[in-house]
Amino acid sequence: MAIWTTLKAVMQFLIILFLAFFVAAQTPTAQVSTPTSWTNNISLPSVSYSRIILSDGNASAALFENKTISSESMVRGSVCAFYPVDYLKDDQFDPDSARFFLVVALLETSGYNFPDLSNYGLSNIWSANRNKPVRENATLQLLVDGNLELRDADGSLVWSTNTSNKSVAGMKMMDTGNLVLHDTNNNIVWQSFDHPTDTLVPGQKLVRGQKLVSSVSEYNISEGNFYLSVTSHGLLGFYQANVPQMYLKFFDHVWNLESIELKYSGSEDIALYVNAPEFGALGSPWLSASVSVRSRPGLFLKFESNGHLILHDGSMTVAHNMLTSHIPECDYPTICNDYEFCSNGMCLCPPGLAQGEPELAQGESESGCPAINATTCENLEYHSLLTYQNVYHFSYIDDGAAALKGTDIESCKKECLKNCSCKVALFRHDYNSLLGDCFLPSPVLTLIYDEYRRRYYKSSYAFIKTLNKKENGRGSSRSKIVAGSTIGAFFLVGLAIGFWSQPEECMHLLPIFMRKAEEDQLVDMVDRSNQDMQFHHSEAVQMMKVAIWCLQSDYKRRPSMSDVVKALEGNLDVEAYLDYTIHNPIKVAAARREAEQGTATPILPSLLSGPR
């Protein structure tokens, strides 16, 4: 019995020992025999002032082994490198002032010898230390315990993969643009694909909870002002602020959105796929671009510094703006400067505050509008609002952005006036409702002027705060507008009256003018070749209506000058049911000629009071 017990114990021990060896054989252990280190200095191969740490097989064989490329060859590959920013001083590379990002980049080059790589194309697709660049002599080190660490020149830790004791055996650069830490079985332990910055490459997913954050600029890849986020409520784009402002929203109707992924669709197309349970395992193509995959290798999708989503090829040639058919140009927050109106691709200062000529909307132009006001919390009693109709804001897309919901226009204005930090208030009046929503954006950014395309809103107004300079609360800006309206009234009334002063062969202009007014088509009389007139066409139409009001044959129906000013300011409606008939203008002209020649009796008061 004792022998059997002993034999049983020995067998159990052997079984346990076998299982232990079996598990150990199946579980990779750290195999980094010695630490591997790269120092950021001129000892590393250099491409466009970037110091190359690691490359995939294609780039490595061409650049770092043969070191020569034939004039007929084209080399494309992926590299991990120290990428400089602010590195030029007097147009020369200055390593002492340069700061460096640890990046993964796509390389495209041809026809040069290795020492002359300063003009080779590098397109950054990932960075480890976007908001904390390092200096000359910083180090990247793969430690024996499997952790990859980036330390600055002073030895301070800047970034790491946090992969200590996780069976890392080595590091490699994949030709897909994926930087990988792997175990002895070549299984991925850590990969840059799981930590996207501002770019997606084919095969890479942006999963729920992750976001793409734009760069400051093409050359400064620190985090910028925009981010694109995958949430269970959809794909959302925001402008960074104290309270982020939404400008993009897709798939809010999709239940449980999981991820988006850039991948090829057939042999000629590439598309951004949407993954959610309702779309099945393959997902659903959303934004697609028909491009020749054969002639455009190295494609990647970059979330740009201006909030656009652009598909590029390896040479950074724009292949496709993926959002063109989904977002109007003027709906990008920084397409124009703060307070500027964007209309049909043009940026203009608000009427009454305009300086200079309209310019193409290209984002944060150098000229822009002058400071709208100098309102502070100390001069609150002198604040007033200038009113603009048909003005919208990009944040209307966000149902939760309104400061006040279900309110009226006067309450919206009061809310801004009592808040010293409010610069602009917007009131959106929806259909099928007597009330609307009030928005108090901060910062304001671009305002959108659009009279025709946004018919899903009943009306929309912007109220721009300005500072009165007189203690009675009626500032000089307001006085200028009133004066301008009065001058405009005289001008247009004179213009309309001038129709009667034309030669008889030109008298047909007045009937056309009156017919257009009666058909409510006065906009046709606005000069279509003049961009400024087209932008202010609603004001021009209002002035023409006032002019017609002033030309009524029955002098009792004509407005006083105070009423003219009120009408032009929008505080008084033009009288309805105006008389658009022309009362014998030839007779008036004949009477005038006879009077000038002294061949007629004095003109009757009824004719004198008529248009002439």
- Beta-carbon contacts of 2 under 8 Å, excluding residues fewer than 6 positions away, are none
For residue 345, how many other CB atoms are within 10 A of its CB? 13
The H or E element that residue 409 is part of is helix 409-417
Give pLDDT, residue 65: 47
Yes or no: say if 62 and 107 are a contact pair by the CB < 8 Å rule: no
Give pLDDT, residue 331: 93
For residue 536, how many other CB atoms are within 10 A of its CB? 18
- Beta-carbon contacts of 31 under 8 Å, excluding residues fewer than 6 positions away, are 169, 170, 183, 184
The size of the chain, in residues, is 612
Angle at the Cα of 271 (from 270 to 274), degrees rounded to 5? 155
The DSSP letter of residue 139 is E
Give pLDDT, residue 232: 84
User: What does the alpha-carbon distance between residue 325 and residue 289 come to, in Å, rounded to a whole number?
Assistant: 12
Closest CA to 588 of 571, 610, 558: 610
Instruction: Transcribe 482-500 into DSSP letters.
Output: HHHHHHHHHHHHHHHHHHH
Yes or no: say if 582 and 611 are a contact pair by the CB < 8 Å rule: no
Structure-block tokens of residue 227: 């981010």
User: What does the alpha-carbon distance between residue 610 and residue 43 come to, in Å, rounded to a whole number?
Assistant: 92
pTM over the 0.75 mark: no
Instruction: Transcribe 219-286 into DSSP letters.
Output: S--SEEEEEEEEETTEEEEEE-SSS-EEEEEE-TTSTT--EEEEEEETTTEEEEEEE-GGG-TT-EEE
Q: Please state the φ and ψ torsions of residue 171, each to the nearest 5 degrees.
A: -130, 140
Chain-centroid distance of CA 554 in Å reads 54
User: What does the alpha-carbon distance between residue 143 and residue 145 come to, in Å, rounded to a whole number?
Assistant: 5
User: What does the alpha-carbon distance between residue 501 and residue 611 come to, in Å, rounded to a whole number?
Assistant: 10
Backbone Cα Rg of the chain? 35
**Which of left, alpha, beta for 473 (phi over 0: left; psi -120 to 50: alpha)?**
left
Asked whether the bond before 602 is cis by omega within 30 degrees of 0, the reply is no
Closest CA to 550 of 537, 565, 540: 565
Give pLDDT, residue 26: 44
Q: Which residues of the chain have a pLDDT value below 50?
A: 18-28, 30, 65-72, 111-119, 356, 364-365, 471-502, 505-506, 585-586, 588-589, 591, 600, 603, 605-612
Angle at the Cα of 561 (from 559 to 566), degrees rounded to 5? 85
**Which of left, alpha, beta for 604 (phi over 0: left; psi -120 to 50: alpha)?**
beta
Q: Which position has the token pair 């790589």?
A: 117
In the chain, the percentage of residues whose pLDDT exceeds 70 is 66
User: What does the alpha-carbon distance between residue 105 and residue 127 come to, in Å, rounded to a whole number?
Assistant: 9
The H or E element that residue 587 is part of is helix 585-597
Pairing of strands 259-265, 205-207: antiparallel
Give pLDDT, residue 37: 92
Reduced to 3 states, what is the DSSP secondary structure of residue 119? coil
Instruction: Transcribe 177-201 into DSSP letters.
Output: S-EEEE-TT--EEEEGGGS--SEE-
Quick one: CA dihedral 556, 561, 566, 570, positive or negative? positive
**Which of left, alpha, beta for 451 (phi over 0: left; psi -120 to 50: alpha)?**
alpha
Give pLDDT, residue 563: 83
Give pLDDT, residue 2: 57
- Beta-carbon contacts of 575 under 8 Å, excluding residues fewer than 6 positions away, are 549, 557, 559
Dmax over CA atoms of the chain, in Å, equals: 154
Give pLDDT, residue 562: 82
Q: Give, in order, the Cα–Cα distances in Å from 541 to each of 287, 322, 517, 526.
A: 41, 38, 9, 8
Q: Please state the φ and ψ torsions of residue 31, each to the nearest 5 degrees.
A: -120, 15
Closest CA to 106 of 308, 292, 301, 304: 301
**Which of left, alpha, beta for 256 (phi over 0: left; psi -120 to 50: alpha)?**
left
Domains of the chain: 25-191 (2.90.10.10), 199-327 (2.90.10), 341-350+380-467 (3.50.4), 509-586 (no CATH)
User: What does the alpha-carbon distance between residue 612 and residue 607 come to, in Å, rounded to a whole number?
Assistant: 9
Give pLDDT, residue 269: 77
Give pLDDT, residue 475: 38
Yes or no: say if 294 and 302 are a contact pair by the CB < 8 Å rule: no
Structure-block tokens of residue 46: 């250099």
